Structure 1
């Protein structure tokens, strides 16, 4: 017997896997006082009305990390879903290998660079688990090509 799912509004969220020249990925720690405080996550956030996923991610990275990313640098890499009590989370992951500026934790309690295979050692939100597996597959299938700067920045 199948059970009809409760109608929940779709809640799209964008996330970035910033990959440096060594293949490490930037994670940020959710700040105290927020839901899932202390967990490590990919930077990103909610879409504002009228924004595309890509525009939202560029805006969020500027607001959260003080970096500038060109829309052309976003590589769609995966997605995850999670049914929450009041909504259906749709988390879209993009790989970014080029950006301007040095990431600074403006809205997080900390930043850490980790190799994808070492991310399992960090506590992360449930929806990020599938993204980590997809990211490993994505990065493993693609050749790493970094532009002029060896650290992933422009």
Structure 2
């Protein structure tokens, strides 16, 4: 079966050095409001995944990073409202600035195991399992 549109999205598992990863809660009024997700967003035309992630994290969290510090971790492929979502997850251990929720309802540092109990978009669930497996 063909796909009418491919939606390319990048996200990050920011590690705090204490075994925790940063999640953000989707705000009211957005699709999947209230669910927890990895920070990130859509890749724009003529933008590399790494550049898109650096831009999105600056917009959403107010942090700055070097794209060389992004490490590919996992991906998810999921049908989504007549389109197909391809979500690329990167790992990040170094950045500048303190993350602030500019677009999210809340930010929370959690362990990969704690993520299993949090309501998340369907595409994020296999990424959590990949993180737990990397333990």
* Fold similarity call, TM over 0.5: yes
| In 2, Cα distance between equivalents of 1:71 and 1:34 | 28
**How many equivalent residue pairs?**
135
Aligned-residue RMSD, C-alpha = 0.9
Cα deviation 1:75-95 (Å, max 9, x = unaligned): 000000111232110000000
| In 1, Cα distance between equivalents of 2:55 and 2:98 | 16
Q: 1:71 aligns with which of 67, 71, 78?
A: 67
TM-score normalised by structure 2 residue count: 0.97
| In 1, Cα distance between equivalents of 2:125 and 2:81 | 19
1:23 to partner: Cα distance: 1.3
Give the equivalent residue in structure 1 for 2:77.
Answer: 81
| In 2, Cα distance between equivalents of 1:112 and 1:6 | 38
Within a 5 Å distance, the mapping from 1:1-154 to structure 2 comes to 5-138=1-134, 140=135
| In 1, Cα distance between equivalents of 2:39 and 2:73 | 14
Gaps of 5+ in 1: 141-154
More strand by share: 2
| In 2, Cα distance between equivalents of 1:85 and 1:110 | 26
| In 2, Cα distance between equivalents of 1:117 and 1:34 | 26
Helix, strand or coil at the partner of 1:22: coil
1:102 to partner: Cα distance: 0.3
Runs of 4+ in structure 1 over 3 Å off = none
- The structure having more radius of gyration, on CA atoms, is 1
| In 1, Cα distance between equivalents of 2:84 and 2:3 | 9
TM-score normalised by structure 1 residue count: 0.85
